[in-house]
Amino acid sequence: MISNATILSMIAVIIFSIFLFVSAILITKKRVGLSLKPLLIGSVGFVIITQVLEKLLHVVVITGFPNYAEHPWAFGLYGGFAAGIFEELGRYFLFIWLLKKYQDFKGGLSFGVGWGGIEAVVIALSTVVPFILFATMINAGTFDSSIGASLPSDQAATIKETVLNQGVSHYLWGIPERFFALLMQIAFTLLVLLAVIKKKLLYVLLAIVAHAAIDFPVTFYQTGYIKSLWVIEMYLAFVGVLSILIIKRLRKLLVG
């Protein structure tokens, strides 16, 4: 059985992700001002670029290399650079194609809030909602007859074991993680914007490499080579603090 506290912790992650997005919008509007078009372009751009185009590539690669988990170094390099290339080039082309009149700090911040904010909501919904459904089925005794009957037995058993073993703390770690990720996405957005304004593609390359480097260690947790979740979360906390410093520096450069 999955405890009510565990299910509530799952729901809390979703609520916080929505709250984070809304709060980021309101705080940005109050302190800097908000540009609606960059906010919307950032939100829609994230969905199309990462959840459609990038995932299509992942399907092709994982289908061709089903044993990717046995090679975390190669998988980490692929995953990190795939995310970096799609996201940073995506931001760059959106700025030069659709946001020519919003290439300033306010426009960049609004874009970053849209990109990172919708990421928090999409990731929470896509990862947590299935576990809420699985937990509900397990508690109701219908998991084996529904999910278990539609999947290979070993895969269904793995899903069930995962849901049973993940407690409250596992899901609550997702709350600070989304906050740190939002800061990171804003920092990357402003760095790419600087590349657009200064006409220096070197900054885009820097963003791609930095994005890949940040994502790379997370792969070792995803493939089971790092067992402790708090190690990853402390690492992301460091990235979040570093992102704040970078945002402040980029603001000075962009505002002039």
pLDDT digits (tens, 9 = 90+) for 175-222: 999 999 999 999 999 999 999 999 999 999 999 999 999 998 887 777
pLDDT of residue 256 exceeding 70, the answer is no
- Confidence tier at 158 by pLDDT (50, 70, 90): confident
Q: What residue ranges do the domains of the chain occupy?
A: 4-255
pTM of the model: 0.94
Mean pLDDT of the region 106-119: 98
- Confidence tier at 69 by pLDDT (50, 70, 90): confident
pLDDT for res 213: 93
What stretches of the chain adopt beta strand conformation (E)?
Answer: none
Q: Judge whether 204 and 104 are in contact, CB under 8 Å.
A: no
Please state, in angstroms and rounded to a whole number, the distance separating the CA atoms of residues 148 and 157: 8
Whether the CA torsion 159, 15, 191, 241 is positive or negative: it is negative
Residue 104's SS3 state is coil
Buried b (16+ CB within 10 A) or exposed e, 47-65: eebbeeebeeeeeeeeeee
Please state, in angstroms and rounded to a whole number, the distance separating the CA atoms of residues 155 and 144: 12
